[in-house]
Amino acid sequence: MRASRRPADRAALRRGVLRPSSRCAAGIASRLGAGVPPAHWRDWLAAPGSLTARVRRHGERFEVRLLAQGDAAWLPGERRALRPARAQGGAHAREVALCLDGVPVVLARSVLDPAVLRGPWQALLGLGTRPLAELLFHDRRMRRSPLAIERIGRSGPLRRRLERLARRAGLAPDGLGPAPLWARSSVFERHGARLRVMEVFLPALQGRPRQPAAAGAAGDGPSDVVLAPR
């Protein structure tokens, strides 16, 4: 990329309109500095395919802990991403912890307009502790938006919600750590009904060794990524 375009690219990335692949994460870092995820999170944030499948390869025992499901208030960015038919009313949310060897390493929130629970997303109600990936990655009719990367600060409604979920998951009060958290989100669409999935990476995932995977396993290639506008 020519130097003359870098200022424009920097501004576009901050507005969330460029979609670089994971292969250029290092280049993004050099241009945006502190606004880009630390090196140890970049591959996780940009990995395509099922995050569940990728997480499984970093531990011996994987489980999904269902923390909450039902009527919920919209969190920042969710209503804008889903564009529900009704201007008023709340959301339906499913919140889980992905755990390795008994330790929560990812908090995930799936949210949608309650109206679509009577249609394409009805199966979400009976999912229980099974991974959401069972619904999302075995349906050829499913469409997925590019991944959006977001930095979650140490205050605000989203951080407070994550702190409550972390306690339900069994983490100590300081389980989220003192630093900002990094998350990714995308919108899945089936028959015009949309579901937003946000995945927040916890400090306990950092530094876990990766177990060998079969060649060509899903989730190893590049993905389209945007930096979520703030």
> Which CATH number covers residue 178?
3.40.1410.10
Token pair in block for residue 91? 């959301």
Q: What is the pTM of this model?
A: 0.79
The number of domains in the chain is 1
Residues 191, 205 contacting (CB under 8 angstroms): no
Sign of the dihedral through C-alpha 164, 165, 169, 174: negative
Q: How far apart are CA 26 and CA 146, in angstroms?
A: 19
- What pLDDT, on a 0 to 100 scale, did the predictor assign at position 78? 93
Q: Is residue 91 part of a domain?
A: yes
- What pLDDT, on a 0 to 100 scale, did the predictor assign at position 175? 83
- What pLDDT, on a 0 to 100 scale, did the predictor assign at position 70? 95
Q: Vertex 58, ends 54 and 62: CA angle to 5°? A: 80
Neighbours of 97 (CB within 10 A): 23
Q: Is residue 60 part of a domain?
A: yes
Q: Is residue 189 part of a domain?
A: yes
- What pLDDT, on a 0 to 100 scale, did the predictor assign at position 110? 96
Q: Is residue 44 part of a domain?
A: yes
Q: Vertex 47, ends 45 and 48: CA angle to 5°? A: 125
Residue burial 126-158, b: 16+ Cβ < 10 Å; e: rest: ebeeebbbebbbeeeeeebeebbbbebeeeeeb
Burial class (CB in 10 A: 0-12, 13-18, 19+), 165: buried
- What pLDDT, on a 0 to 100 scale, did the predictor assign at position 228? 53
Q: Is residue 96 part of a domain?
A: yes
Long-range Cβ contact pairs of 121-128 (< 8 A, separation 24 or more)? 121/190, 121/193, 121/195, 124/92, 124/94, 124/195, 127/94, 128/66
- What pLDDT, on a 0 to 100 scale, did the predictor assign at position 7? 46
Q: List the chain residues with pLDDT less than 50.
A: 1-34, 214-223, 229-230
Q: How far apart are CA 59 and CA 179, in angstroms?
A: 24
Q: Is residue 86 part of a domain?
A: yes
Q: How far apart are CA 21 and CA 224, in angstroms?
A: 5
Element (H, E) at 138: none
Neighbours of 11 (CB within 10 A): 11
Residues 46, 222 contacting (CB under 8 angstroms): yes
- What pLDDT, on a 0 to 100 scale, did the predictor assign at position 35? 66
**Residue 80: domain span:** 38-206+223-227
- What pLDDT, on a 0 to 100 scale, did the predictor assign at position 33? 41
149: closest CA among 29, 2, 6? 29
- What pLDDT, on a 0 to 100 scale, did the predictor assign at position 212? 61
Q: Is residue 26 part of a domain?
A: no
Q: What is the pLDDT of residues 117-138, one digit of tens each?
A: 888 888 899 999 999 988 888 7
Q: Is residue 138 part of a domain?
A: yes
